[in-house]
Structure 1
Amino acid sequence: MNIKRSFVLFCASFTASLYFSQEKSIDTVYVFDNQMNKVKLFHKVATLSSADIQKNAFNLSEVLRFQSPVYIKENGRGAVSSPSFRGTTAQQTAFVWNGININSTFLGQGDVNNIALSGYDQMEIKAGGGSVIYGSGAIGGSIHLNNDLSFDQGFSGMLNSEIASFGTYTNFAKAAFSNDKFSFKVSGNYLISENDYKVPESREYINRNGKFYNTTYNVGISYKIANHQTISWQSQFYNAIQNYPIFEETGNKTKYGSQTVRSLVSWDVKNPTISNSLKAAYTEENFQYFGVFSAPKTSGGTGKNYIFKNDFNYFIHPKLNANVIAEFQVNTGEGYKSGISEISRNVGSAAGLLRYFPTKNLRFEAGIKKDFVEKITSPVLYSFSGKWNTTKWYNININFSKNFRFPSFNDLYWEPGGNPDLKPETSVQGDMDHEFKAGNFTLTVSPYYIKIKDMIRWANTSLGYWGAFNTQNVESYGLESQLSFEKQLHKHHLKINVGYIFTKSTDLELSKQLMYVPLHKVFANADYQYKFLKLYAQAMFNGLTYTTSDESRYYALDPYCVINAGISATILKKYILGIKINNITDTIYQTVDYYPLPKRNYSVTATINF
């Protein structure tokens, strides 16, 4: 089929006037993901600012490992890395860039260490299913990389440099200008690392051939064409090379190249009753694998996506809001020595959400969605959420949803092993957030349940190669909890967050815990500021983690705890100098068997704001 058609949608203005206060406070800021403020009314969302991200400026894996409930499986520092969210897999975590799902059309997932980290204004982490709004793959959760553009702010800029252990150098620059009608922001980042760390206590490990580098450029423009109309553009360009570690000096050196382009144009109309956001986006992924370091590429591919999305909100009544979202995509791909020839797939969807605010302290949302995926039969998806602020000290959220992931290009067409008869993965899930407040303390306790059907797995075949099959049904349940404390006393400011996650994720056929899903995880972050001085500390504990499907204790990863700490000083209001110590206790640990991560290491940073 070669049908290229776009869905034009109309949908409903989002908030009743009593809930518009949140948007009014930021009405001089254009936010590319216009759905996120609505999502936060019904779901728990963790928000990391650019300052939080900077604490782990090395890579996205470090940010998620120390500042979120997500488990990160990393094949050595800076190498292939994938997330596990609520006991699901990397393919069941959606990466969303400014409201657009950017999971690879080939792999069906995002490689965490090949997603740019710098240049975002905030990162948001949403637990639980979100396919009604954010599409295929949003089963375990979604990770949102967001940019915004402010008006009436004049000129500002920043230069940041970091020198770290293992020959690591990072340089980041950002500049922005805006007046009452025009806003512009540009940033660039360059990171390079020899990455030659050693862990002699773990099989005399040396991270040979571990070098990597990447560059990122971001540019954003927004213009108010009328009082209630804005047209905006955001683009990102990313280029990276990763060398894959080898265990012996005589081993064959390999490497992997990745280049991505993302560009988004948005026309937004907004007034107190009706709002509409029309987006057109282009995303491109290119990758090359070099089986011999200095030889021509062994395999590779190019994927291009053309995306049209319309989000229409209508404020039917001060207590009733309707929202209709339609999206159409053309996904194309061409492989190199993978058996994948030129392929094209049309994907469309239509979703409707209804939000009802009967009282100031009570709100409900119901959603339904149908996807139309060429040559794939997709289910009808649904979601229901409710939030009740019962008292000043206790709130409760309830969420139910059906979500899915359709097969990737590799799942369908890779030769040998691709399976064109695959069915999409589907899941049903429910969770409940209990939030307690007492003074400066906030405690959130979130039990959840997920059941996944027809999970796609690659398994060995009788013909000696690996193939894709709908073989696995998985049940995952657990508990996410977080305790936070924040206190301002004169010139002293203290903020502490501690999270505990219990995850039981079982292959129902084997009745065993899934591989690389720890039963227990704890993460903690503490920030203290006094005048010009800032101190922070991070801690992360992972419990026993099985690396085989039979729960073999012999091959399991032992529990470990890693602690980082940093200090910075602001001089003359513009200059910031900082030092950070990673893995203070010199812990020997690994998130993937045979690939230990670094022992104690250091970094020094310098920042100029102007």
Structure 2
Amino acid sequence: MIRVVLLFLLLLFGSVAKAQTSTDSIQRLDEVVLSDVKLKRYSHGYKVTVLNDSLLQKNRSSFTDILRFNSNLYFKENGYGMVSSPSFRGTNASQTAVIWNGISINSQLTGQTDFNTINTTNFKSVIIRSGGGSVQYGSGAIGGSIHLNNTLSFSPHFDNTMTLSYGSYDTKNVSYLSSYAKDKWSFNIGLNYIDSDNDYKYLSTDKRNTNGAYYNGSINANVGYVISPKDVIKLYHQTFLGEREFSGTISSPSLAKYEDQNFRTMLEWSRQGDKAFSKLKVAHLQEHFKYFGNKNTENYTFGKINTYLINYTADINLLTHLKLKPIVSYNYYEGNGSSFGDPNRKEFSTTALLQYTPNEKWQYGLNLRQDVTSGFESPLLFSFDVAYEVSDYYTLKLNGSKNYRVPTFNDLYWQPGGNLDLVPETSYQIDLGQDISYKSAKLNLNAFYIKTTDLIQWKPNTSGFWSPENIAETQNYGAEASLDVSKKIKEHHLSLQFNYAFTVSEDLESNKQLIYVPYHKANINLAYAYKRMSLFFQHLYNGEVYTTTENLSGRFYSVEAYQVSNFGMTYQLFKTKSQHIDVSLNVNNLFNTVYENVAFRPMPDRNFNFQIQYKF
């Protein structure tokens, strides 16, 4: 029935869109359709970091490691390859939105995304947008949002990339990426499979990670068709199938196993007119898991969520310098699980984004959103942003917003422990940024403040079960710095990227830092290329984090600060106009550092990865 309704609405909006005026050419439509209009046009006052496809394809480590070594995000990872949760400016994982081609893919069970279930094959870019984004992206975008973007180019081409790699712990990875376009058609597909025993040694002990093996496969396929000079229709699809043994702690071995199945399909119809550009999206998302407490038995618990979504947007040029983007969205969620029953939820939202550009120096944005969510009273949300170009080298940015997060199905219905009396989290944030650029150097400086009320936290109750509660206010504040420098001297290419974050995240009642939020985090990337050879060096500093709140003795427990380095080299064996072969060797944890990311869960010792990549 849901699918029939969505199809009917698709036809309805399609008939309404026919009233818009035509554009001048398919090429112009291409340029508009294939860019992330909402993110690009309505984020002038925000800090936006772009990780391009060359970085994603060359770095064959996990998505967690790509972000850990190339951004200010902190990750809590329960052993290498296990569940990976981000902390964005001291907020928790459920307060970070992950956006796939414009729609949120955060789990309706946990409210977060496990970054070790995302493969970056076939993403044109990953964009990190700092600052509250609930107005544009809905529940959960309190600390920031991470955007995974597929693009479809209609310029005639046929490109292929085949990558094979083998590394320590019998880790095997194979991927294939193909992109094709001719006439009115464009198509690309990314296939990836990885398998690892993941049985690394626990340094300074005689033990190994005996229950850490994992394997997964993913498909990322997209197709586009130019219906007319005004219309393009695109279909996006993702499939992820994975199985992981869940590592135990250094003192408590585990036999647990976890199976993931994630499916995402979205149909998008874009239409370009002289004064308006509209998009209609219809999507179906499914997340499914099985948890085995003992991998040697057939006993398991399970959970399954289906999401049905319809979203309509229009970019309207009200005046020469004034643009309006109305958004209407409807989501329906239905769940089924052994520990939370058969819940469902309906969400309807209306959003208005306004962008005013009076001249080349000033950019103003004002946005409003109202949600209607079954079972909750959602607040009226707002955000604003301002960007002022002081000179060709210096830009000031300011943004502020009211954000929120509704309780997840696990928060409400998990048995035992769910709490039906929870109310949504609400927060206010403000961010001041400075962009300084000179020749081949760029420096970003940001200071931020976030205040959250009714934060949802799981705590042990009087019955001995863990249960979520709305706790007192919390505040997050700090500063971030990012530096990017590149230099070319004849055939020598050098680059440096540096990121640093100072973060305070505290409970206002106790004035204590929240658990698993480091005060200090920094990383540096150095790269050098000459003719066919290139080298890189990465270094990460992760400050001390508290792992428990104060106990009866008044003592805190923590994970010590650590530093870890990676090194890699690539050599181009063969190159013609249309083909080339690269071989590379990466050494991770170069100095064999003993460190933990989560208490009592050691991370890998020094390990190696060899890769060969063929582009044709």
Question: 2:42, 2:27 → 1: CA distance?
Answer: 17
Q: Which residue does 2:612 correspond to in 1?
A: 606
CA contact (8 A) 1:485 1:495 kept: yes
Shift of 1:377: 0.9
Question: 1:157, 1:447 → 2: CA distance?
Answer: 43
Shift of 1:120: 1.5
CA contact (8 A) 1:541 1:561 kept: yes
Q: 1:460 to 1:130 in 2, by over 3 A?
A: same
* Percent pairwise identity: 35
CA contact (8 A) 1:28 1:151 kept: no
Moved more, 92-101 or 567-576: 567-576
Which residue among 574, 577, 601 is the counterpart of 2:583? 577
CA contact (8 A) 1:154 1:179 kept: yes
* 1:234-254 deviation digits (Å, cap 9, x = unpaired): 100100111012358995511
Matched, 1:394 2:394: yes
Question: 2:144, 2:436 → 1: CA distance?
Answer: 23
Shift of 1:81: 1.2
Aligned ranges 1:529-568 → 2 under 5 Å: 529-550=529-550, 555-568=557-570
Corresponding residue SS for 1:150: coil
Shift of 1:61: 1.2
Which residue among 157, 171, 185 is the counterpart of 1:154? 157
Matched, 1:60 2:66: no
Question: 2:28, 2:538 → 1: CA distance?
Answer: 31
Matched, 1:467 2:473: no
Corresponding residue SS for 1:91: helix
Corresponding residue SS for 1:446: strand
Q: Which residue does 1:586 correspond to in 2?
A: 592
Shift of 1:588: 1.1
Shift of 1:528: 2.0
Alignment-mate amino acid for residue 508 of structure 1: L
* 1:477-505 deviation digits (Å, cap 9, x = unpaired): 00011111122333222221111100000
* 1:316-355 deviation digits (Å, cap 9, x = unpaired): 111111110111000010012x1x2222111111100111
Matched, 1:168 2:171: yes
Q: 1:533 to 1:24 in 2, by over 3 A?
A: farther
Shift of 1:43: 1.8
Which residue among 179, 188, 191 is the counterpart of 2:191? 188
CA contact (8 A) 2:70 2:499 kept: no
Q: 1:204 to 1:71 in 2, by over 3 A?
A: farther
Shift of 1:26: 9.8
TM-score of the pair, normalised by structure 1: 0.94
Shift of 1:538: 1.2
Matched, 1:94 2:97: yes
Shift of 1:51: 2.2
Moved more, 49-58 or 245-254: 245-254
Shift of 1:118: 2.5
* 1:110-146 deviation digits (Å, cap 9, x = unpaired): 1121233333121111111101111111001111111
Q: Which residue does 2:302 correspond to in 1?
A: 300
Matched, 1:333 2:339: no
Moved more, 273-282 or 467-476: 467-476
Shift of 1:230: 0.5
- Aligned Cα root-mean-square deviation (Å): 2.4
Q: Which residue does 1:287 correspond to in 2?
A: 289
Corresponding residue SS for 2:41: helix
* 1:55-98 deviation digits (Å, cap 9, x = unpaired): 44231111111111000111111011111110000010111111
* 1:363-419 deviation digits (Å, cap 9, x = unpaired): 100000001110111100000000000112210010000011101001111112111
CA contact (8 A) 1:30 1:150 kept: no
Question: 1:226, 1:342 → 2: CA distance?
Answer: 44
Matched, 1:596 2:598: no
Q: 1:29 to 1:377 in 2, by over 3 A?
A: closer
Which residue among 204, 208, 211 is the counterpart of 1:209? 211
Matched, 1:177 2:180: yes
Question: 2:71, 2:134 → 1: CA distance?
Answer: 21
Corresponding residue SS for 2:598: coil
Which runs of no fewer than 5 residues in structure 1 stay unpaired? Answer: 13-22
CA contact (8 A) 1:32 1:98 kept: no
Question: 1:484, 1:526 → 2: CA distance?
Answer: 10
Q: Which residue does 2:351 correspond to in 1?
A: 351
Question: 1:138, 1:609 → 2: CA distance?
Answer: 37
Moved more, 490-499 or 298-307: 490-499
Alignment-mate amino acid for residue 322 of structure 1: L
Aligned ranges 1:313-462 → 2 under 5 Å: 313-336=315-338, 338=339, 340-462=340-462
Alignment-mate amino acid for residue 394 of structure 1: Y
TM-score of the pair, normalised by structure 2: 0.93
Q: Which residue does 2:222 correspond to in 1?
A: 220
Question: 2:100, 2:422 → 1: CA distance?
Answer: 27
Corresponding residue SS for 1:52: helix
Question: 1:536, 1:391 → 2: CA distance?
Answer: 34
Question: 2:35, 2:444 → 1: CA distance?
Answer: 28
Question: 1:162, 1:122 → 2: CA distance?
Answer: 22
Moved more, 374-383 or 412-421: 412-421
Shift of 1:220: 0.5
Q: 1:557 to 1:252 in 2, by over 3 A?
A: closer
Question: 1:33, 1:438 → 2: CA distance?
Answer: 27
Corresponding residue SS for 1:206: coil
Question: 2:494, 2:183 → 1: CA distance?
Answer: 35
Question: 1:265, 1:364 → 2: CA distance?
Answer: 32
Shift of 1:534: 1.6
Q: How many residue pairs were aligned?
A: 597
Q: Which residue does 1:20 correspond to in 2?
A: none
Corresponding residue SS for 1:412: helix
* 1:228-278 deviation digits (Å, cap 9, x = unpaired): 211000100100111012358995511000000000100001234210011
Alignment-mate amino acid for residue 420 of structure 1: L
Question: 1:471, 1:388 → 2: CA distance?
Answer: 38
Matched, 1:51 2:51: no
Alignment-mate amino acid for residue 254 of structure 1: A
Which residue among 144, 147, 161 is the counterpart of 1:144? 147
Q: 1:408 to 1:9 in 2, by over 3 A?
A: farther
Corresponding residue SS for 2:136: helix
Corresponding residue SS for 1:379: coil
Q: Which residue does 1:117 correspond to in 2?
A: 120
Question: 1:67, 1:55 → 2: CA distance?
Answer: 13
Q: 1:477 to 1:24 in 2, by over 3 A?
A: farther
Alignment-mate amino acid for residue 201 of structure 2: K
